[in-house]
């Protein structure tokens, strides 16, 4: 029954409604459990996965990044400090998926607390890239991306603070969407950088992503940052018509250091758009070079403040100790991994009296300049096209000892989080070594429809998404 596993989300929903969902669930359970020891995409499978074909989604399986709370299920953020923590409520996106009739299939591996671009900081072992098991799947939503790419699930949820949906999508050849900041409720998402975090889908096709966006988006009174903006039917946008669409290529995104095969592939994608009747323009986003530095000031500040709640009192791990102070120290020392400690230290430093103005405040000011770059650019163009990641999937261990090299993996994805705009990654080709390449599309705030339309037109024209890893 592995044929069922290569279905798209949309196709599977159709079949589940006609013939029942149980054969589909059985097929995925078999395949995912067989592959997981090799790939480590799942930290655990759902104990309650049962077929309930009612609802728009027909009971088909979807997997969830392990930083989104599901009532009664352990959630760890791939950290030892949260081990055995069981939230007593559903995140809003989970409620929405349940109401739509999805089967929550399993919880996906990730970088610890979503700190990373490779899934190597997981306390439960790295996740591997289905296209080459010696390589990383990207991060931090690496387990979500790998599970979709390896046909271990039909679709997944991830979260994106600086690229964590888009970069693993690119490295695994799946579609990954970061919605506009405020589009999707973060109630029940364990926070990393609260002014950046967004939940979004990872899927096999753009249409599958649009179907999930219809379910996930919308105002939530439980999240004060969620937007009242009206949610259109995103599937209606998928017309395949990009005639007259203005697409910008930012010159600052085609720089030294980017793999020439990736640059070539994205430039070829621009030619495809031109052939389809879109207008390609070179644009400038002049403050791009400051993005990574600004992000690693502001995001670590927010992270250190968000992680303050993990002290051994209310959640997960508690180290035995002789007094309260020692308990705090011991719990955090044992519970947090290396990268989490680094971020808490950096964040605490940039927020400390005397440095706050020099770092955090200045970072926020440059963030405004970066947002204004996009506002200006979107007066000239409707969509911005760039690479998603400067390199294809790198080897496990290759960048683990060099945090700066790792941080630079996010150079093209971070600006959209700083500006709050929607952005996505779409498979656009392969390197000569057979590794996936993704291209990034960005759009005006709340204009996911135009972004998805552009992505879908390219995907249907080229069919890049049809190629699958062999997993021999």
Interaction site with ligand GLN (CB under 6 A)? 114-117, 140, 160-164, 192, 299, 410
Quote the tokens at residue 270. Answer: 């621009």
Question: Which of 65, 80 has the CB closer to ligand GLN?
Answer: 65
Catalytic residue among 46, 118, 164, 185: 164
Whether residue 140 lies in the annotated active site: yes
Question: Which of 46, 167 has the CB closer to ligand GLN?
Answer: 167
Provide the minimum distance between the beta carbon of 300 and ligand GLN in the complex, in angstroms, as a whole number: 8
Question: Which of 223, 279 has the CB closer to ligand GLN?
Answer: 223
Report whether 420 contacts 117 (CB < 8 A).
no
C-alpha dist (Å) from residue 109 to 310, 332, 450: 20, 21, 31
Q: State the SS3 of 243-264.
A: CCCEEEEEHHHCCCCCCHHHHH
Report whether 193 contacts 298 (CB < 8 A).
yes
Provide the minimum distance between the beta carbon of 412 and ligand GLN in the complex, in angstroms, as a whole number: 12
C-alpha dist (Å) from residue 429 to 6, 145, 396, 433: 19, 17, 22, 11
Provide the minimum distance between the beta carbon of 287 and ligand GLN in the complex, in angstroms, as a whole number: 19
Quote the tokens at residue 57. Answer: 């989604």
Question: Which of 17, 65 has the CB closer to ligand GLN?
Answer: 65
Catalytic residue among 140, 159, 173, 291: 140
Catalytic residue among 10, 17, 65, 204: 65
| Residues linked to residue 108 through DSSP beta bridges, in sequence order | 42, 65
Provide the minimum distance between the beta carbon of 299 and ligand GLN in the complex, in angstroms, as a whole number: 6
Question: Which of 186, 453 has the CB closer to ligand GLN?
Answer: 186
Whether residue 164 lies in the annotated active site: yes
Q: What are phi and psi of 293, to 5 degrees?
A: -65, -45
Q: Which helix (H) or strand (E) holds 24?
A: helix 22-39
Question: Which of 163, 335 has the CB closer to ligand GLN?
Answer: 163
In the sheet that 42-45 helps form, which strands lie side by side, from edge to edge?
Answer: 42-45, 103-108, 61-65, 155-160, 198-203, 175-178, 423-430, 436-443, 383-387, 246-250, 279-283
Report the distance separating Cα 358 and Cα 364, nearest Å. 11
Provide the minimum distance between the beta carbon of 185 and ligand GLN in the complex, in angstroms, as a whole number: 17
Question: Which of 192, 273 has the CB closer to ligand GLN?
Answer: 192
Would you tell me how many other CB atoms lie within 10 Å of the CB of residue 358? 11
What's the Rg (C-alpha) of the chain?
21
Report whether 109 contacts 40 (CB < 8 A).
yes
Residue 234: closest CA among 454, 460, 449: 449
Report the distance separating Cα 461 and Cα 459, nearest Å. 6
Which residue numbers are catalytic? 65, 140, 164
């Amino acid at each position: 029954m592995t044929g069922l596993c290569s279905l798209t989300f949309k196709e599977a929903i159709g079949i589940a409604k006609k013939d029942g969902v149980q054969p589909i669930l059985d097929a995925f359970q078999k395949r995912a459990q067989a592959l997981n020891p090799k790939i480590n995409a799942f930290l655990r499978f759902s104990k309650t996965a049962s077929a309930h074909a009612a609802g728009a989604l027909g009971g088909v399986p979807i997997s969830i990044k392990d930083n989104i709370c599901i009532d009664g299920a352990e959630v760890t953020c791939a950290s030892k400090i949260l081990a055995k923590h069981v939230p007593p409520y559903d995140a809003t996106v989970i409620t929405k998926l349940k109401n739509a009739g999805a089967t929550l299939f399993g919880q996906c591996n990730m970088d610890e607390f979503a700190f990373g671009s490779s899934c190597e900081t997981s306390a439960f072992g790295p996740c591997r890239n289905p296209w080459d098991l010696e390589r990383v799947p990207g991060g931090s939503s690496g387990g979500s991306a790998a599970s979709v790419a390896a046909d271990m699930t039909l679709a997944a949820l991830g979260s994106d603070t600086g690229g964590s949906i888009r970069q693993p999508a690119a490295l695994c050849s799946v579609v990954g969407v970061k919605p506009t900041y405020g589009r999707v409720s973060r109630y029940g998402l364990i926070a990393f950088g609260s002014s950046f975090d967004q939940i979004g889908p990872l899927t096999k096709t753009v249409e599958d992503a649009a179907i999930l966006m219809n379910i996930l988006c919308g105002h939530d009174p439980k999240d004060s940052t969620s937007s009242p903006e009206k949610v259109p039917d995103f599937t209606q946008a998928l017309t395949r018509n990009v005639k007259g669409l203005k697409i910008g290529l930012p010159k600052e995104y085609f720089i030294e250091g980017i793999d020439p095969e990736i640059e070539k592939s994205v430039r070829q994608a621009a030619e495809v758009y031109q052939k389809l009747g879109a207008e390609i323009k070179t644009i400038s986003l002049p403050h791009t070079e400051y993005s990574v530095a600004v992000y690693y000031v502001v995001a670590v500040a927010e992270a250190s403040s968000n992680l303050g709640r993990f002290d051994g009192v209310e959640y997960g791990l508690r180290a035995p100790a002789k007094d309260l102070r020692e308990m705090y120290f011991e719990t955090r020392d044992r519970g947090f991994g290396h990268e989490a400690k680094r971020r808490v230290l950096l964040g605490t430093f940039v927020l400390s009296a005397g440095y706050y103005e020099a770092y955090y405040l200045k970072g926020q000011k440059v963030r405004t300049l970066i947002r204004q770059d996009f506002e200006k650019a979107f007066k000239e163009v409707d969509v911005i096209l760039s690479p998603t990641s400067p390199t294809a999937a790198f080897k496990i261990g290759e960048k683990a000892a060099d945090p700066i090299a790792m941080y630079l993996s996010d150079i093209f994805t971070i600006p959209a989080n700083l500006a709050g705009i929607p952005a996505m990654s779409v498979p656009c080709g392969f390197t000569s070594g057979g590794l996936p390449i993704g291209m990034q599309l960005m759009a005006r705030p709340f204009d996911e429809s135009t972004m998805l339309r552009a992505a879908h037109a390219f995907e249907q024209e080229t069919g890049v998404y049809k190629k699958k890893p062999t997993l021999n």
